[in-house]
Structure 1
Amino acid sequence: MPSFVATPVRAILGAPKPYQLLYARKVTIPGILCLLRPARRFNSSAPSDRTKAFFPPPSAPHIKQVETAWVHPVYTTEQMRAVAVGHRDAKTWSDRAALGTVRVLRWGMDRVSGYRHPKPGQEHKAKFQMNERKWLTRFIFLESVAGVPGMVGGMLRHLRSLRGLKRDNGWIETLLEEAYNERMHLLTFLKLAKPGLFMRLLVLGAQGVFFNGFFLSYLISPRTCHRFVGYLEEEAVLTYTRAIQDLETGKLPEWEKTEAPEIAVQYWKMPEGNRTMRDLLLYVRADEAKHREVNHTLGNLNQASDPNPYAAMYKDPTKPHPEKGLTHVKTSGWERDEVI
């Protein structure tokens, strides 16, 4: 019987993007080309020389690299270590609806990603133990969803500005930058794990449902949507805090020797000597804490007329005010009378 060698699918079905390329495995069935079946786990770790970038830079003889318009602020180690888990109390029916939705989504995400957090006194049980692969599965699924709200909000406000023939007062840039930041988190973790087909299908399904649901919700109540994202980011901060604790207590030995990918070093401007996996998680957690603050703040404002306090110039810049960095961080966001 003939044996087929690994053949790129694009030779059969056309020429897809490089990151869409799948490969066929050897088979002994004559005349049939079987695609590589997904692994039984969500992600598979692979050496860097065997894992291709999912979004490789363009192959152009005159271009060295592609730059971004959004430059990430520089965080200090002290600022990142000071990030704490926090929660904003639900005060209105809108807040309670947003919080309830996040709790349902959190339950579903825990089920999909295999994450379980123990109650006090149950930490030693095996079913609650998380290893490196399980954490990466959760991170990738979380970040693939977290990049949706900023893009949806920015897009809808952009279109409203166009049809209304008026300014947006700085909201669009902040929302799109948030979406970009979440996507950089995802690209960073994709350098550490290679999702299987099942995981890709989960992401596809979750994104399809979440995008459309958030799109319709933002049309109805932008305030509720920003509060929803604020509560969602509270959960993200909690997730990364627990991962950092596991790493620091020796429960994730593989990560103790893992260096942050080059994409992360360049994006966060990670200094020499502070490029470990622990440092990477600190940077990501700090970003999530900032998104938590930003969205709770935006949820406190008049959605139709108030300017974006994160893109504003203040009359007295010496007083504490919202900013991109971590100099002044408020877990529950800035109240409207503090910034407007």
Structure 2
Amino acid sequence: MFDFDQNQTENLTQHHAPRDMSDRVALRIVKFMRIFADAFFSKRYGHRAVVLETVAAVPGMVGGMLQHLKAIRRIRDDQGWIRELLDEAENERMHLMAFIKIAQPNLLERALILIGQGVFFNLYFLLYLLAPKTAHRVVGYLEEEAVISYTQYLEQVDAGHVENVPAPQMAIEYWNLSPDARLRDLIIAVRADEAGHRDKNHDFANAISEGRHD
């Protein structure tokens, strides 16, 4: 179970201004990915969330695995990175499980999930091997976009354009939501998670850049 404080607040507008070419490349990669998401899903935010979380669940697992192997290879402490990254991957997977129950993706969208995960896993794996700082910055910017998307999703629910259906039982149990929680409560909880992952990955990129983690 994941305890979510329904009264907590997070910075919804925080943006890491690019500091160097690596940061600018990472930002452009994410903005390029956003173009396809907007073109394919438009305002279908439930379905957008399903595909987004399929991709978002990859970096933590890849990063955790490679940090694990590096720690073994170099016989050194990982500074808590492995657990943090694997927890991130698990949390993103739970986002996916929750929104699959909400959106009920069709066969085409499930095929897109399969293709997207396969392509992104291999590209991200290579990126993390060659440029881990850039890899974490990509995730930081990806999470910035996720916060924006979930804020827009919430606005659609509040405006009555998307039905505020009951939250899935597994989401209620995972985030420790109230028994009568609705989609709105789920979106707020997931958005808070994404804001946390955003800040953590930007911190990881900063740590590598500043020589506090190799």
TM-score by length of 1: 0.60
Q: Determine helix, strand or coil for the equivalent of 1:302.
A: helix
1:10: which partner in 2? none
Note the alpha carbon deviations across 1:218-267, whole angstroms, 9 max, x for none: 01111111111000000000000011111112222x22xx1111100110
Shift of residue 303 of structure 1? 7.1
Give 2:36's aligned amino acid: G
Shift of residue 272 of structure 1? 4.2
Within 1, Cα distance between the matches of 2:48 and 2:11? 21
Within 2, Cα distance between the matches of 1:135 and 1:239? 7
Query: Does 1 or 2 have the higher relative contact order (CA < 8 Å, sep 6+)?
Result: 2
Note the alpha carbon deviations across 1:289-334, whole angstroms, 9 max, x for none: 1011101111110379747xxxxxxxxxxxxxxxxxxxxxxxxxxx
1:277 and 2:183 correspond = yes
Unaligned runs of 5+ in 2: none
- Among 174, 184, 206, the alignment partner of 1:267 is 174
Q: Which one has the bigger helix percentage?
A: 2
- Among 100, 104, 122, the alignment partner of 2:32 is 104
Shift of residue 109 of structure 1? 2.0
1:185 and 2:95 correspond = yes
Within 1, Cα distance between the matches of 2:56 and 2:46? 15
1:165 and 2:75 correspond = yes
Between the aligned residues of both structures, percent identity stands at 45
1:85: which partner in 2? 13
Q: Determine helix, strand or coil for the equivalent of 2:46.
A: helix
Contact kept? 1:98, 1:231, Cα under 8 Å? yes
Within 2, Cα distance between the matches of 1:190 and 1:83? 27
- Among 76, 80, 91, the alignment partner of 2:6 is 76
**Aligned structure 1 segments of 4 or more residues deviating by more than 6 angstroms:** none
1:299-318, aligned counterparts within 5 Å? Answer: 299-302=205-208, 306=212
Contact kept? 1:169, 1:306, Cα under 8 Å? no
Of 178-187 and 161-170, deviating more is 161-170
2:192: which partner in 1? 286
What's the Cα RMSD here?
1.8
Within 2, Cα distance between the matches of 1:203 and 1:191? 15
Shift of residue 183 of structure 1? 0.3
1:220 and 2:130 correspond = yes
Of 243-252 and 169-178, deviating more is 243-252
Within 1, Cα distance between the matches of 2:137 and 2:113? 23
Contact kept? 1:149, 1:179, Cα under 8 Å? yes
Shift of residue 88 of structure 1? 1.4
Within 2, Cα distance between the matches of 1:282 and 1:220? 35
Bigger Cα Rg: 1
1:94: which partner in 2? 22
Unaligned runs of 5+ in 1: 1-70, 116-129, 308-340
1:295: which partner in 2? 201
1:313: which partner in 2? none
1:1-340, aligned counterparts within 5 Å? Answer: 71-77=1-7, 79-80=8-9, 82-112=10-40, 114-115=41-42, 130=43, 134-252=44-162, 254-255=163-164, 258-273=165-180, 275-302=181-208, 306=212
